[in-house]
Structure 1
């Protein structure tokens, strides 16, 4: 189990530390926030590979953090001789008996930290000291990776040549399911882990016998004819035989099928689901890490619901890292496991009560992800409030809220306290608008007073004397003649009843009108607060 992750100089991460949850970690963030890079870095440190190929083969200049490279070039230009850019990825592991052979204190923790762990470094190769010295005389933003080497060691300072078998790890990227010859490297690894050693040996032996029989039987007649051809210079006999080398092992020839259809020809959603399910169902008592990129991709809502249930049921003691852009995944698996990423930095959700986590799990359709990713939030009671707030905000500020990074969301009947608690947990500036429903605003404020914070989280309630809901609030600050003209209703119609009955339609007509319409005071106050 990974207890701490340190990344220095790798892609978006200049100097990054994360202490993951023991079981579930849900990674959310905007595009290029660092979610995929984190999973990639974990995979590099655990496997020494990336995309199924060795890290040394895949090493390229764009692995190096741009800001650190720019700083290096700046210091070189000023006449300094800074150290060459390097990459460090460290995984600190749980102190378990089966991992003691990885134990040591050779790590970057300033205070001695003797524990099991793995270190992955990309450093200058001293064998190319002369070439690196020449490059230093006129350095460029493209680091000369040809003169670098990879050091893959455990904290006891011994080199690793393959992933320690005590650490079972699987990485599934469901965004793009890549299959080569019907089965890709990661799936082959997952399937292999489902087989016992004696089963693998038996299959390998039988596969060798099958190839041998093809050589003697199917190719026999061809080889008899080839004996007459003396192509080699020394007149030796030529013959065809099935390849018995490790390059043609049974793992590369056996492909899974789904309902008699080769795996590579199954739907992408089916492929992703199979990979995830196999990874989650591995029979292993050792440390196990499963990393899943966006499980919602290529899946219908029903299939996603089934897959998440399987993940939940099979999680056990495995440590999961799941990146997602789906509010359903976030709510269903648990908001308390949330890790928020932004430009190479990470923050965790704190202070969320188990009751609130359970509340959103039971209502997984609510778009909490919008709340998590927004810079500022405005929470309103319904769609008509949302439509009108955006209109009044545009009138006062000259642009729609989203252009200022402000997301206006309807609570759709959700409990105000639950929504406010989530905003407090992720520390988002929020303005909450609600009707007074005939109650004193002071009384309505009391149940959530402990979650409010002046200048950060504030509640705005319509004045009691102006009416119970939004519609009478509008009527109280605008002339009936103006509203009738904007709404397109006659004098014979009861204005208040029509607006109450046709809430959303009325809001849409007001929003599209070019006439000047005054905002209810509580909406104007909320606009001024959230706009800042």
Structure 2
């Protein structure tokens, strides 16, 4: 705060270097600092950080990235301006986790995130960590924003998403601008299997009924799973992880991410 003020008119501060300010500030004070930096116009400021909030709020297009997977510094100058603005205003996110990963699987919600590690082990006999794959839950409306970054940086990115009742429109046509060797979109191609929970129940009726049918009074088991997505995913993981049949589109995502 002291350095950001031009308190000496005769000797103004031209350049300011800040190293990982997130290590010394509360979340609230960090937001205040970001605001002060963004408002400063009379000096050049360099901030070294591992914090997504600082990176995004100060505009990703201003970033210089030092990544162990690249021998040269990378920049985000080619990131679409509206995507940079989106991340400046979006809720706290996992942008730096995404940027600093070699391979990423993006999922829509908590249920997929909770189960994906177990699914991967069952399908591949390996682990996400061993194969250098990072999983991020971003919400379906944000997929394209992360894919904009993937296009700029060449990050191998698999999107696992629901077809929402129309796979052609939502999963194919919707991503025509993101056709690239490093981007894959994976979904169920049966429109009636429109969510992850429905796909999971259709393949695992006996397992799911064993867990939840006895206590049902008004909701069916499938309806219960749709209304309690994260809790059901956790219970499946906790009690039936080795018995689950995994949807084919998720298995295809695992195969593709390792090609």
TM-score by length of 1: 0.45
Q: Contact (CA 8 Å) 1:460, 1:522: kept in 2 or not? A: yes
**Residue 66 (structure 2) aligns with:** 341
Of 294, 302, 312 in structure 1, the residue corresponding to residue 28 of structure 2 is 302
Of 507, 522, 529 in structure 1, the residue corresponding to residue 233 of structure 2 is 507
Q: Contact (CA 8 Å) 2:212, 2:221: kept in 1 or not? A: no
Alignment of 1:145-160 (within 5 A): none
Question: How far off is 1:417 after superposition?
Answer: 1.7
C-alpha offsets along residues 164-214 of structure 1, whole Å, 9 cap, x if unaligned? xxxxxxxxxxxxxxxxxxxxxxxxxxxxxxxxxxxxxxxxxxxxxxxxxxx
Of 45, 48, 52 in structure 2, the residue corresponding to residue 323 of structure 1 is 48
Distance, in Å, in 1 between the alignment partners of 2:11 and 2:179 is 47
Distance, in Å, in 2 between the alignment partners of 1:285 and 1:449 is 54
Alignment of 1:183-198 (within 5 A): none
Q: Return closer, same or farther for 1:357/1:517 CA change in 2, 3 Å cut-off.
A: same
**Residue 153 (structure 1) aligns with:** none
Aligned alpha-carbon RMSD (Å): 2.3
**Residue 66 (structure 1) aligns with:** none
Aligned residues: 254
Residue 133 of structure 2 corresponds to residue 399 of structure 1? no
The structure in which a higher percent of residues are strand is 1
Residue 252 of structure 2 corresponds to residue 528 of structure 1? no
Question: How far off is 1:309 after superposition?
Answer: 1.2
Question: How far off is 1:466 after superposition?
Answer: 4.8
Distance, in Å, in 1 between the alignment partners of 2:187 and 2:59 is 31
Question: How far off is 1:289 after superposition?
Answer: 2.3
Alignment of 1:45-444 (within 5 A): 273-274=1-2, 276-278=3-5, 283=9, 288-316=14-42, 318-343=43-68, 345-363=72-90, 365-444=92-171
Alignment of 1:408-487 (within 5 A): 408-454=135-181, 456-478=182-204, 480-485=205-210, 487=211
Of 480, 483, 490 in structure 1, the residue corresponding to residue 214 of structure 2 is 490
Alignment of 1:15-54 (within 5 A): none
Q: Contact (CA 8 Å) 1:327, 1:364: kept in 2 or not? A: no
Name the SS of the counterpart of 2:244 in structure 1. coil
